[in-house]
Structure 1
Amino acid sequence: MTQNASRRENPRSAVRILQILDKLSDDSQEWTLSSLGRELNSPKSSLLALLRALIDMGHIHQAGGIYKLDGEAFRLASHILLNRHFPEVARPILREIVEKTGETAVIGVLSEDGQSTIYVDKVESPSALRFSAKIGDRRPLYSSASGHVILAFGDREMAAAYMKKIKVQPLTPSGIASKAELKEAIDLARARGIAVTRNQSTEGVTGFGAPILGETGELIGSLVLAAPTSRIEVRMDEMSQLAKQTAVRISEIMGYND
């Protein structure tokens, strides 16, 4: 085999190993050499060589022709989970969505006092005209896309208590001005799976917020795409879908599997 051919083969082998481990993580069926070959569309000879290497490394074992994950695979998975820190793990996805949309992306979480959302990470739009925020900035729950996500998809008892006590004071001329308006916005966000706010905390800014879920399905934060209202009017549906898709990707990294 030539050096160039070897270089081409190595990436394919790495991908195939990951595909093998992915299949074996599904223990709802028994995986044999034949079934793995069919599922991965791979010749048995090359597949067998990779399986033997994984057995030698302790990542899988074989008994009665059935392949299963072994100790080293679980140890590796455990180490990955231990190093899965939120929101840092989401940063590459934030960069990707900003590059794709040209708009700012932020992650918000509930404040300690339960009254605000706090921006804990952000990647800003490269455009001179953009939504700009600092890490640590706070926005009232009632007037921000991130806050609406928390009220719509977070703890119901917390949201109910907040709704009872909050005094709604619009921050912009078109901002939410009553509990009835807030409840309508929260119900709409819950029904659509996305919170969209226009000119609420800041005049001239539209936000698209979607829930980020943890391993057990609990809300751990919100993903918000924010942009100048004047620029985003023709992209409302597109931005809503991208916000939801991006939040789902981050949720999957955090262990959520619907």
Structure 2
Amino acid sequence: MDKKKKPASATPEVARSIINAMSILEALQATDDLLTLSELSERCNLSKATAMRYLGAFEQGGYVSRNARDGKYALGAKIVQLAQRFYMRDHLLMIASGSLRSLAEQCGETSHLAVLDETEVIYLDIVDSQQRVQAVVRRGDRAPAYCVASGRAILAQSEKDAVDAVLSHGLSPMTNRTVTDESKFLALLAQGREDGYFVSAGEFVEDIVGISVPLFAPDGRVFAAIGVSFPSFRTTSKDIEVVGQLIKKHAEDISRSFKQMTT
């Protein structure tokens, strides 16, 4: 039986609705004044009923706030949070790029910058190793936070809710070396806090070792991690200690520079 095809106009209609909704946020952003429903309707060339429908959804999501006294609208706290996140990430990439290059040159291995996204890490920036055999990591790659060094570095300094979310999601074995026992996982986070760096050896990809250190925002919150990844055959326990201390130095430099730029 043939599936019914959507009308050709369906996609453009959805896009038009999204653009109309976003025009409300743009109108609120364009002025320092709070705006009434009528003003927003006129500025966005929308009917009051349509504008009210969009405003209700935005208000429910925290993207718009309504003054209880006069009913006027302003951008909500969620918009501010998104803007701050974008600002931090943009500046982080700029500040960290030099350290990533230096770290890759000094270690001779692949360096990377990662952030936590719920129960996964996302690699925002990478500097590849010049070795013929190397750990392959690409910008935008995702990995389970519990079994990679960067994820552990961030989780170890995060609020308990972030760790609980990862544990409730489950510690599934990615290789035969993945730590899947909760008590052992929590012990690894504690050990990393004591050492100042975090290690994952063959737990996400066999024969690949990762070492990472957390990065801190000016308010003391962890917001990212910097580290290196390399084949396990080039690794000794002494190497891990030396590389861990080197990454710590670069992490301190990045956190210090980030604080100076954002304060």
TM-score bracket, shorter-length normalisation: 0.5 to 0.7
The aligned runs of 1:141-180 (5 Å cut-off) are 141-163=145-167, 165-180=168-183
- 1:211 aligned counterpart, secondary structure: strand
Q: Which residue of 2 aligns with 1:94?
A: 100
1:245 counterpart (235, 249, 253)? 249
- The answer to whether residue 124 in structure 2 is matched with residue 127 in structure 1 is no
- Contact kept, 8 Å, 1:84 with 1:254, in 2: the verdict is no
Q: Which residue of 1 aligns with 2:140?
A: 136
For 1:205 and 1:253, how far apart are their aligned partners in 2?
A: 30
Change beyond 3 A, Cα 1:226–1:82: closer
Q: Which residue of 2 aligns with 1:61?
A: none
- The answer to whether residue 221 in structure 2 is matched with residue 218 in structure 1 is yes
For 1:158 and 1:244, how far apart are their aligned partners in 2?
A: 23
Tell me the TM-score normalised to structure 1 length. 0.63
Identity across matched positions, percent: 25
Tell me the TM-score normalised to structure 2 length. 0.62
1:118 counterpart (110, 122, 125)? 122
Cα RMSD (Å) of the superposition?
A: 2.1
Q: Which residue of 1 aligns with 2:259?
A: 255
For 2:229 and 2:90, how far apart are their aligned partners in 1?
A: 26
- 2:226 aligned counterpart, secondary structure: strand
- 1:208 aligned counterpart, secondary structure: strand
Q: Which amino acid aligns with 2:94?
A: E
Q: Which amino acid aligns with 1:126?
A: Q
For 2:116 and 2:88, how far apart are their aligned partners in 1?
A: 23
- Large movers: runs of 4+ above 6 Å: 81-84
- Contact kept, 8 Å, 2:109 with 2:230, in 1: the verdict is yes
Q: Which residue of 2 aligns with 1:190?
A: 193
- Contact kept, 8 Å, 1:121 with 1:135, in 2: the verdict is yes
Shift of 1:160: 3.0
For 1:145 and 1:251, how far apart are their aligned partners in 2?
A: 18
Question: Structure 2 unaligned runs (5+)?
Answer: 1-86
